[in-house]
Amino acid sequence: MEYLVSYFINFFNMPSPRWAVFSRILAATLGGYALATSSALFIGQLLFSSAGKYQAIHIGLLLSFLVYACAAMWVFSVSNATKAWIGLIKWNLVFLLCTWLLMQFSGASN
């Protein structure tokens, strides 16, 4: 019984390197997906007036694949997982705020 308790204590040890890798994997998949989505919205809204509605959406979606790949690579290149999460959240908020501002000032919210 003591072995089982000590195993679970060691298994759920948060400073363990495996939790840092797991956190980076989650950041790359979930945070990268959120960043790709918010960047696709921003690019689509940015190109809405110059290109057609559907062209802007397609360009934004195609470029979001590049953003997703770069975000996934960047997550594993920073020094720790906390910086990766903070960076992803920060860039998501920037893209969403800029998208909202573009929607408000261009009148293209429909």
Q: What does the pLDDT look like over 69-102, one tens digit per residue?
A: 999 999 999 988 888 999 999 999 999 999 999 8
Q: Please give the Cα distance from 109 to 44 (Å, whole number).
A: 12
Tens of pLDDT along 1-10?
Answer: 555 555 554 5
Q: Please give the Cα distance from 33 to 54 (Å, whole number).
A: 21
| Token representation of residue 31 | 């945070």
The better pLDDT of the pair 107, 99 is held by 99
Where does the pLDDT of residue 18 fall: very low under 50, low under 70, confident under 90, or very high at 90 and above?
confident
Tens of pLDDT along 26-51?
Answer: 999 999 999 999 999 999 998 888 88
How far the first Cα of the chain sits from its last, in Å, is 62
Asked if residue 35 lies in contact with residue 64, where contact means CB atoms within 8 angstroms, the answer is: no
Q: What is the three-class DSSP state of 13?
A: coil
Specify the residue for token string 């989650």.
26
Amino acid 56: pLDDT = 87
Predicted structure pTM score: 0.78
What does 35-67 look like in DSSP terms, one character per residue? HHHHHHHHHHHHTTTTS-HHHHHHHHHHHHHHH
Amino acid 107: pLDDT = 65
- Phi and psi of 95, rounded to 5°? -65, -40
Amino acid 54: pLDDT = 87
